[in-house]
Every structure is written in C-alpha cells, then in structure tokens.
C-alpha cells in the first residue's frame, strides 16, 4: 500500500506526549484562510522553485513537495527514532494536510504502531465521511481541531461545513479515545469571548474525557510558502496574535473544568 506524504519531522515535541516523529500526509479538503501549510492541500506531489543561498549568491532549486511512499518504507523511516520514543514515552503523530483523506494508508500505519507498541496520534481537522471514521484503526490519541461551532462561519472561512466534524468528534469521544482539542484562534473568525464561549459550551459535556485544550494563536507565518506556490491571493491578510492576547480566554475554559494551554 502507498501513501503520499510531504514531510517527516523528527524530534517533534509539540505534537503529543514525549519525543515524536510527525509524518505529514498530503491532501486536505478544507480551505482555511489562515492555512500555514498551503503546500499540504493538493493531494498530488507538486514542484516549487526554492531560492537557496551560497556565498551570498542565489541559486534556484526545484523541489518536489510530496512523495509516494509504501507503508513498509515509511515504517522503516519512522523507526529511526524508536530509541527516543521509548525513552520519552513518545511515538508517532500523523498530521497533514488532512490525514483522514488517506484513511486506508493511515489505518495500516496505526496498526503497525499498535503491533510494535508505539504510541500513535492523529492530528486532524475531523472532516471525513462517517464511514471513514467508523472504519479507521483508532490511534491512542487524537489532536482534534475545533475551529467554530457556528456552521455558516465555519463554511465561510474553511469552505466546509462543520456538521461532519462535530459528528466525528462525538463518535470518537463515545468510543472513549483520548482527545486533545486544538483551537486555532483567528482574527475576524473566532477571536472573541463569544466565539470561545460557544466552543467551550459545546465541549462541556465531555470535559472529563477531553485531556486538554490548546489555544493556538494565529501567526502570519506562511507568506513565503504562499509566495513559493504562487497562491498569494489566497492568503489571510491579518496581523499575528500574541500569546498574551489569548490569556483572557483561559477563564472560559477553566470555569468548565478544562485543562487549557496557549500554544500547546
């Protein structure tokens, strides 16, 4: 079986417990205006021109983003850091793009993790067919994005509706799989106490099951990537949010007995 990935990051220390290797699967059905991985959207490998410097002289290097890889070959690469995973109770995180878009490949990788006793984690937008979630080999942990509870606003900013997302979240929680919620806080979208309270209210019923909520401040970080992909027009033009600005939201979640962090 083959999948298409666009990066493998070792010593990924922000994507779940311990020292992890994160593999980024290519392809995403969402079109979030703030996307900081625009190169992850297209499911197929694509070529970009990268400027590389040597001796203060610019060279143009053509790089292919994305590569087709077999589950066996990927597993071999992921095992390179096994010793660190063992030492730190870390593991492997599957991110994207939207990893559920390659759910069969993903399930096969999760099964390998389980067989070898390595902790697995899926970092997802939650957007997938109900049948996909039902057939999925469940990981040890989900990092699950909740962007907005309001259906229309969600559609407007991500080009997809959140009904499936919320359904899938419910399904996972009912199966008692540990979940961490991630909320990207975006100016003009959900950067208000009202929006955050709405999310918090919605999640309250599962406060005992949700391990933690991470508020992720928007950073205008991907300009260079949009530039490289010649997609500058699709970029959200807003100023970065400083971490401190999110502190005002903490009580909203604390009041509802959630463990919450800024930045994860």
Q: Using CB under 8 A as the criterion, which residues of the chain lie in contact with another protein when the complex forms?
A: 9-15, 18-19, 52-55, 57, 59, 61, 80-81, 83-84, 87-88, 90, 182, 214, 216-217, 219-224, 227, 240, 263-264
> Smallest gap, in angstroms, from Cβ of residue 34 to another protein?
11
DSSP 201: H
- Closest CB to another protein among 224 and 248? 224
130 CB burial (10 A radius; 0-12, 13-18, 19+): exposed
Closest by alpha carbon to 19, among 82, 103, 63? 82
Min separation Cβ 14 and another protein, Å: 6
Pick from 82, 63, 77, 65: which is nearest to 26 by CA? 65
Contact predicate 148/162, CB 8 Å: yes
Q: Select 52 or 73, whichever has its Cβ closest to another protein.
A: 52
CB of 240 to another protein, least distance (A): 7
| Residue number with CB closer to another protein (14 or 151) | 14
Closer residue to another protein (CB): 35 or 136 = 35
Q: Closest approach of Cβ 145 to another protein, in Å? A: 11
Packing angle of the helix pair 71-78, 103-115 (nearest 10 deg): 50
């Amino acid at each position: 079986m083959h999948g298409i990935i666009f990066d493998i990051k070792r010593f990924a220390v922000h994507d779940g417990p311990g020292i992890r290797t994160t593999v980024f699967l290519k392809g995403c059905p969402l079109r979030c205006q703030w996307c900081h991985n625009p190169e992850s959207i297209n499911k197929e490998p694509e070529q970009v021109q990268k400027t590389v410097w040597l001796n203060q002289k610019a060279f143009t290097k053509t790089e292919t983003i994305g590569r087709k890889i077999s589950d066996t070959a990927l597993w071999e690469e992921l095992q390179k850091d096994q010793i660190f995973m063992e030492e730190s109770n870390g593991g492997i995180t599957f991110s994207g793009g939207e990893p559920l878009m390659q759910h069969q490949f993903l399930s096969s990788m999760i099964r390998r993790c389980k067989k070898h006793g390595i902790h697995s984690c899926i970092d997802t937008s939650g957007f997938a067919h109900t049948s996909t979630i039902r057939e999925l080999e469940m990981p040890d942990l989900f990092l699950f994005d909740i962007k907005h509870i309001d259906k229309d606003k969600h559609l407007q900013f991500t080009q997809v509706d959140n009904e499936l997302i919320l359904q899938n979240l419910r399904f996972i929680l009912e199966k008692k799989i540990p979940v961490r919620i991630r909320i990207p806080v975006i100016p003009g979208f959900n950067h208000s106490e009202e929006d955050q309270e709405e999310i918090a209210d919605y999640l309250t019923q599962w406060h005992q099951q949700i391990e933690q909520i991470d508020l992720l401040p928007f950073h205008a970080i991907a300009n260079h990537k949009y530039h490289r992909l010649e997609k500058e027009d699709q970029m959200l033009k807003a100023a970065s949010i400083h971490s401190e600005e999110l502190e005002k939201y903490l009580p909203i979640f604390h009041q509802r007995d959630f463990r919450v962090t800024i930045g994860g």
